[in-house]
Structure 1
Amino acid sequence: MAFELPELGYAYDALEPHIDARTMEIHHSKHHAGYTNKLNGAIEGTDLEGKSIEDILSNLDMSNSAVRNNGGGFYNHSLFWSVMNPEGKGYLSGELKDAIEAAYSSKEGFMDAFSNAAATQFGSGWAWLCVHKGGKVEICSTANQDNPIMPGIGCGGTPILGIDVWEHAYYLNYQNRRPDYINAFFNVINWNEVEKRYAEAK
């Protein structure tokens, strides 16, 4: 089965004013669709065909740039859309809240650390909150479309929250003000989904 572009589950304008509709439409229907199509082309006729994206990326030959870039782009964006939501987002609570406070003292401490990782990622890339087996959480950033499930990249563990800091994710609305976009992102985090991913990954 070829990979398919996942649906957002909400309208392109649902995250306004924090993330504008035009950016969402271009980002999803053009950028993510492009990664999806190119990933399918890169694995067609190879032994990667039919495998899950997690299996492909966690055992990746990192010199395979077509699968690295497009497989990373497909996985990263699929997570990104799911950890944002306009309503019914819940709030940071439970075991995830305990793990974040153990690592970063408070929700505010986590937000500062996550914002810093996103703001200081040079050029294009992502910032992540990852969970290790046992439940410990860690923040890291990766370049381009790399992510922590790839061999030797970032903090390892399983990403449960990610923010795209490629310019196409925010430039129409925020221009070069990446910190403003990062601050806006906290208003649309779907904590119910992040907590679900935490429980599954720990």
Structure 2
Amino acid sequence: MKNILKTGILFLSLLSFGGCKKDKDLVEVTIPEPEKAVSQQVGDPDDVKAEDPDGPFQMIPLPYAYNALEPFIDAKTMEIHYSKHHVNYCNKLNAAVKGTELENKNIEEILAKLDPKNSDVRNNGGGYYNHNLFFEILGQNATEPTDEIAEKITLDFGSFDEFKKQFSEKANKIFGSGWVWLIVDTNGKLAITTTTNQDNPLMPNAEQKGKPILALDVWEHAYYLKYQNKRKDYIEAFYNVINWKKVNEKFNEIKPKTE
């Protein structure tokens, strides 16, 4: 048995030696250079349309490109948020109101008289309204608030820094998915409030009712690609992309009705 093993080992060694000898002439191989990183391609928000072109609710075009808010909100997150999540709410809302009396009402009227048990309208109507506001009040080259909204923030919160502190605290304390709002309440004062899921302060079941003028989406789909579980960093980044001019316009639209 030992002789057989020795013979086998010798045979394999000879084969190995022969292979090495055969391959003694090395051939120079050119190793290709690493491919340069290619930036992620994103689409055009103007291409995103509701499935039903005759439905009462349509996609409001973004006033900026998907990459306009970088580095604070990345282009891919914006594209997925707008062209997947938001359009889905729009499509499902159209389907939920089709053939009902709600088909002839605007979104604010629908939400103000919402039956909270109607989950299709509640979730998709809320998602449609909430995202429209969120995307509308975002913008490039954000600065601190000016004009009437700046005066009102100072009056009702003491300072802009105090407003940011309170807003961030509430945003970080939301358990799970939801929204943070700056609203004009029923007494005409600015207030910060939160809602879960796709609820908002217009709904009859809202803990604090009022007219929203600014919104922050704290669902994970709004920030997870860039910030992962670091919601706090996302919230801090948000202050760099608030279009305070638009927030001021919204405040002035409702100010005569509340003061």
TM-score in same-fold range (> 0.5): yes
Equivalent residue, structure 1, for 2:42: none
Equivalent residue, structure 2, for 1:102: 155
Correspondence 1:159 to 2:200: no
Q: Which runs of 4+ in 1 moved over 4 A?
A: none
Give how far 1:9 is off: 1.1
Q: Where does structure 2 lack aligned partners over 5 or more consecutive residues?
A: 1-54
Q: Percent identity?
A: 54
Q: Is the 8 A contact 1:72 1:146 kept in 2?
A: yes
Q: Is the 8 A contact 1:69 1:146 kept in 2?
A: yes
Equivalent residue, structure 2, for 1:28: 82
- TM-score normalized by structure 2? 0.75
Correspondence 1:7 to 2:36: no
Higher relative contact order (CA 8 A, sep 6+): 1
Residues 74 and 9 from structure 1, CA distance in 2 versus in 1: closer, same or farther, beyond 3 angstroms?
same
- TM-score normalized by structure 1? 0.96
CA radius of gyration, larger in: 2
Q: Is the 8 A contact 2:180 2:195 kept in 1?
A: yes
Q: Where does structure 1 lack aligned partners over 5 or more consecutive residues?
A: none
Give the residue type in structure 1 aligned to 2:126: G
Q: Is the 8 A contact 2:116 2:205 kept in 1?
A: no
Distance 2:207 2:63 in 1: 29
Correspondence 1:186 to 2:242: no
Map residues 40-55 of structure 1 onto 2, 5 A cutoff. 40-55=94-109
Q: Is the 8 A contact 2:137 2:246 kept in 1?
A: yes
Q: Is the 8 A contact 1:32 1:77 kept in 2?
A: yes
Q: Is the 8 A contact 2:182 2:191 kept in 1?
A: yes
2:196 pairs, out of 128, 139, 143, with 143
Deviation digits for residues 153-201 of structure 1 (CA, Å, limit 9, x no counterpart): 0321100000000000000000000010000000000000000000112
Deviation digits for residues 4-43 of structure 1 (CA, Å, limit 9, x no counterpart): 1111111000000000000000000000000000000000
